[in-house]
Amino acid sequence: MILSSREIFGSIGPDGQTAGAFPFEQPEYRPRWWLHVLLFVLTLGTSTFMGAIFYGWTPVELARLGWLDLMVHPTFVGEGLKFAVPLLLILLAHEMGHFIAARRHGLLTTPPFFLPMPVPMPFSPGTLGAVMRIKQPITTRNQLMDIGAWGPLAGFIVAVPTLVAGLAMSQVREFPHEGPLVYFSEPILFKFLARVVFFPGLTGAEDIMLHPMAWAAWWGLLVTALNLLPFFQLDGGHIAYALFGAGHRRWARRLLAVFVIMIALWPGWALWAAILVLVGPEHPPILDEREPLDRGRKIIGWIAIAVFVLCFSFAPIQFW
């Protein structure tokens, strides 16, 4: 995910165009590398812990150990790293896609800030993702498309082989479908590879015991889909605004109404809807809204939309 500086200063005229706008110059930026490294290490730690607890093939006998002994046990740490390392590689690829695209346009950009999950939550990946900030205004739709699209596309490019490798190491087991269950929805790409390519013909009593790497890829697909939601300064908001220009503002609130209806399918959408209502679903204007988007970047935008469809789930996690 990227957060850009307010693209312009000035007011918005009645036609949606900027009035009295002028470019904003940022001072020289020096990264606090100690902070970036610290956040990455903390995120690696929290993701490793959650990966070993919920997504690793940790032997049951380790449950007899105390927490401190468990957290330093080589098997526990190893299982957690099988999840955490590929997950963070997907997130890193995502952020570096943004970073390289921004630098190619000469924009000053922070390194990624990885975000550890401060309070462990059941069945979470142990991280809130990663974010970076562009310290200079994005001025054209072509810039906006490059910077917005190449993050999720780069993450997707890493997530797909990760998913393939993870499914190749996964196994089929018989599971009793009784009592409380946690159901992880399978987006189109995941379902095709898992149910058609690797494990066709599963019976009703069988399910796939996913390798930790496959779980990391599942979370990578979910993160990609969430970032591609077409609102505000999410990557999808950048892409939609670059594709459709100021017209994005006309239908963003209508699309938000559809998004609110989706709360009936998954309560987790309520938090996203509240955030979007608070900040507003529209993408902020850029300095040169009338510059046309070239053909190659239009194709990139539609590819990103296709990636969103492949990765999206209406109800990602459900408790039955």
What is the identity of the amino acid at 288?
A: D
CB burial of 104-134 (b: ≥16 within 10 Å; e: otherwise) equals ebebebbbbbbbbbeeeeeebbbbebbbbbb
Q: Which helix (H) or strand (E) holds 183?
A: strand 182-184
Give the closest residue to 103 by CA, choosing from 156, 154, 150.
150
Q: According to the model, what pLDDT value does residue 14 have?
A: 36
Tell me the pLDDT tens digit for each residue of 42-84.
Answer: 999 999 999 999 999 988 888 788 888 888 899 999 999 999 9
Mention every residue, 6+ apart, whose C-beta is less than 8 A from residue 214: 163, 166, 167, 169, 170
Confidence of residue 25 (pLDDT cuts 50, 70, 90): low
Tell me the pLDDT tens digit for each residue of 263-280.
Answer: 999 988 998 889 888 888
Number of domains in the chain: 1
Confidence of residue 10 (pLDDT cuts 50, 70, 90): very low
β-strand partners of 114:
130
Q: Is the residue at 107 inside a domain?
A: yes
- What's the mean per-residue pLDDT of the chain? 87
Q: Is the residue at 21 inside a domain?
A: yes
Confidence of residue 17 (pLDDT cuts 50, 70, 90): very low
Q: According to the model, what pLDDT value does residue 176 have?
A: 67
Per the structure, the complete domain to which residue 22 belongs is given by 2-165+215-319
Range among 196-200, 252-256, 283-287 with highest mean pLDDT value = 196-200
Task: Give the number of residues written for the chain.
Answer: 320
Tell me the pLDDT tens digit for each residue of 77-112.
Answer: 999 999 999 999 999 999 999 999 999 999 999 999
Q: Is the residue at 181 inside a domain?
A: no
The whole-angstrom separation of Cα 186 and Cα 43 is: 25
Would you call 267 exposed, middle or buried from its count of C-beta atoms within 10 A (0-12, 13-18, 19+)? exposed
Q: Widest CA span of the chain, in angstroms?
A: 68
Q: Does pLDDT of 13 surpass 50?
A: no
- Under 8 Å between Cβ of 159 and 224: yes
Residue corresponding to tokens 């490793």: 48
- Under 8 Å between Cβ of 229 and 97: no
Q: According to the model, what pLDDT value does residue 22 have?
A: 41
Q: According to the model, what pLDDT value does residue 94 have?
A: 97
Mention every residue, 6+ apart, whose C-beta is less than 8 A from residue 120: 46, 49, 50, 126
Helices 295-311 and 212-227: angle between axes, nearest 10 degrees: 130
Q: Are strands 127-134 and 2-4 parallel, antiparallel or unpaired?
A: parallel
Tell me the pLDDT tens digit for each residue of 204-247.
Answer: 778 899 999 999 999 999 999 999 999 988 999 999 999 988 78
Q: Is the residue at 199 inside a domain?
A: no
Q: Is the residue at 198 inside a domain?
A: no
Q: Is the residue at 209 inside a domain?
A: no
Extract the tokens encoding 204.
Answer: 């009703």
Q: Is the residue at 171 inside a domain?
A: no
Q: Is the residue at 296 inside a domain?
A: yes
Q: Give Cα separations from 57 to 69, 211, 219, 319 (angstroms).
A: 18, 7, 17, 22
